[in-house]
A and B are shown apart, each in its own frame.
Chain A
Amino acid sequence: MRNTLAETGAFFPRDRSWHPKAFTPDYKTSVLRSPQKALLSLSNTVSEITGPVFGHDMLGEMDDDLIYNYAKPGESAIGERIVVHGRVLDERGRGVSGALVEFWQANAAGRYRHKKETYLAPLDPNFGGCGRTITDDDGSYAFRTIKPGPYPWPNGVNDWRPAHIHFSIFGHGFAQRLITQMYFEGDPLIPICPIVNTIGDPEAISRLTAPLDMNNTIPMDSRAFKFDIVLRGRRSTMFENRKEGN
């Protein structure tokens, strides 16, 4: 799984003007949940540089197939069958091997299977909505699912989320921890979504938007969308005088 020596360098600082700010009043829930004081900048210590390892052996056979992993035997989830695939890279363009990628989403009608979900669209008895995988040596991953539906949410009186898949990514260091969302190319709800628009830079939004990838479809079965994810990169420790961790 990891065939090279583990890297021990500090992570590049986060570009916090590229990420959404904490206080984004058009997304109303952020108002009372956003820290107001300045963050304390902290050079990475061993506490931030290190992180746990997730082995492929923790995965169940169906973890990466949301069409079947909650379905009754012989049945499958309703919706447009798709494959989502891509690579987890770091900012240096290197593949991140062994990254734990978890994903969750609404069903084809835009309804989540969750105790607090109130949208009137129906549950699909064969769709749970969660999956996970671990990246290969070159950082690549893939899973199969159905395309989630857009859904309304209580923010403005008529706000709708574009179709999206939530992603949680665990790289090699705890400071790389990231949660984000994948959108689908061409969705007219993207530019008018208050959550999407917590991100200021249109280029950052386009990098969260997965294109249709006809070369990776499964003919007569599923379309494919490609979604690369970039985690923070690490400094090289090659020419550092002090001993690592000391």
Chain B
Amino acid sequence: MAQALNMLKESASQTAGPYVHIGCTPNFTGIEGVYDEDLGKVMVNDDTLGERITITGRVIDGSGTPLKDALLEIWQADHKGLYNSPAETRGLADPNFKGWGRQPTDMTTGVFTFETIKPGRVPFVDGRMQAPHVTFWIVARGINLGLNTRMYFGDEEEANAEDPVLARVEHRVRVPTLIAGREGNTYTFDINLQGPNETVFFDI
């Protein structure tokens, strides 16, 4: 026998269910007057530094149907590559950019949209720079544990080519599932839960 490590176990996840909006975006589902505004709805203000972009897309199930009841959160660095977080040790991020957003998918079209800025590059654990990216977290009815993935930018070919995380994707044909194409200021990022184009999801 030895001493016990006395570690706790993480609380087991349960699905967010079909009514996740009630708790996370109540105004979106018509529950008004409890919170002034849904949390994470607005990411930028007039003073936010950086290039304004739109990220839009759908979360698509194994039959090809977009989810109409999903909720997405994104987390990203500011325009210089600094996170607005106490755990950021490299400097102070733009005070006008929280870097976190939350959006439901549209109840009829399944489309989600984030109005944000293009992030700068941040380092990998060994000091090499990662390509600019946005971290995604996806929950919905039928998803038992929130899914983590990343969105990279289609117009950052050089940075993407040297990105240490993209380099870890063994089947190179799957790399494009993480890269959003650019048209004007809009990046389109469809997330496929299953099928030949299943998005690469991460165990972070």
- Residue ranges of A at the interface with B (Cβ–Cβ < 8 Å): 2, 6-8, 11, 13-16, 18-22, 24, 27, 29-37, 39-53, 58, 60, 62-63, 69-70, 89-93, 102-104, 112-117, 128-132, 166, 168, 172-175, 177-181, 195-196, 198-199, 201, 203-205, 207-208, 229-233, 242, 244-246
Counting residue pairs across A and B whose Cβ atoms lie within 8 Å, the total is: 280
Q: A46-B122, A51-B85 are in contact. Are A89 and B8 (CB under 8 A)?
A: yes
Closest chain A residue to B169, Cβ basis: A40
CB-CB nearest 6 A-B residue pairs:
A104-B23, A29-B142, A6-B86, A50-B85, A33-B142, A20-B144
Closest chain A residue to B199, Cβ basis: A35
| Residue numbers in B under 8 Å from A39 (CB-CB) | 201-203
Within 8 Å by CB of B21, from A2, A22, A114, lies: A114
Q: CB distance A47 to B87 under 8 Å? A: no
B67 within 8 A of A: yes
Closest chain A residue to B64, Cβ basis: A32
| Residue numbers in A under 8 Å from B29 (CB-CB) | 113-115
Q: How far is the CA of A58 from the CA of B36 in the complex (A)?
A: 10
Majority SS at the chain B contact face:
loop
| Residue numbers in B under 8 Å from A179 (CB-CB) | 13-16, 20, 139, 146
Within 8 Å by CB of A46, from B34, B88, B145, B146, lies: B88
Chain A min CB distance to B106 (Å): 12
Closest chain B residue to A33, Cβ basis: B142
Chain A min CB distance to B150 (Å): 8
B187 within 8 A of A: no
Q: CB distance B137 to A177 under 8 Å? A: yes
Within 8 Å by CB of A20, from B13, B17, B150, B203, lies: B13
Interface residue tally of chain B, by bracket? 35 or more
B161 within 8 A of A: no
Q: CB distance B203 to A14 under 8 Å? A: yes
Q: CB distance A15 to B9 under 8 Å? A: yes
Q: A35-B147, A130-B34, A205-B12 are in contact. Are A116 and B18 (CB under 8 A)?
A: yes
Q: CB distance B10 to A231 under 8 Å? A: yes
Indicate with 1 or 0, residue by residue over B12-41, a CB within 8 angstroms of chain A CB atoms. Answer: 111111111111101001110111100100
Q: CB distance B19 to A114 under 8 Å? A: yes
Q: CB distance B23 to A128 under 8 Å? A: no
B172 within 8 A of A: no
| Residue numbers in B under 8 Å from A104 (CB-CB) | 19-20, 22-24, 26
| Residue numbers in A under 8 Å from B199 (CB-CB) | 35
Chain A min CB distance to B43 (Å): 11
Q: CB distance B144 to A42 under 8 Å? A: no
